[in-house]
Amino acid sequence: MLILDKNCRGKGIGKKILLEIFKLAKKDKMKNLQILTDESCSYGIYEKLGCKKIYETIVENKEYGKLGNILTERAFIYEKIL
């Protein structure tokens, strides 16, 4: 799970972390990575870094009220071929 403090966002830190993860995975001879995310984050970064969206679905918010007034949200699986 990758979560950046809101004060650290937009500074390229998430990109650096993801690129390092891709590098380490490739070094460990992994062929691909799959990333589960949802629309509550900046998921567009994955496509910018060469990942492909391979699955999209709608999930129900089981903690209505705790997470705001959202009843459902989109969830995605991205794949990075290494």
Full residue range of the structural domain in which residue 57 is found: 31-82
Distances from the Cα of 27 to the Cαs of 22, 31, 32, 35, 79, in angstroms? Answer: 9, 10, 12, 18, 17
Confidence category of residue 24, pLDDT binned at 50, 70, 90: very high
The whole-number pLDDT of residue 27 equals 97
Residue pair 74/53 in contact (Cβ under 8 Å)? The answer is no
22: confidence class by pLDDT, cuts 50, 70, 90: very high
Q: What is the pLDDT of residue 6?
A: 84
Kindly state whether residue 3 falls inside one of the protein's structural domains: no
Summarised one tens digit per residue, pLDDT across range 25-70 is: 999 999 999 999 988 888 899 999 999 999 999 988 776 665 566 6
Residue 68 belongs to some domain of the structure: yes
d(CA 11, CA 64): 31
Query: What's this model's pTM, rounded to 2 decimal places?
Result: 0.82
- Indicate whether 2 belongs to any domain: no
The answer to whether position 7 is within a domain reads no
End-to-end CA distance of the chain: 19
Domain count of the chain?
1
Asked whether residue 48 is domain-assigned, the answer is yes
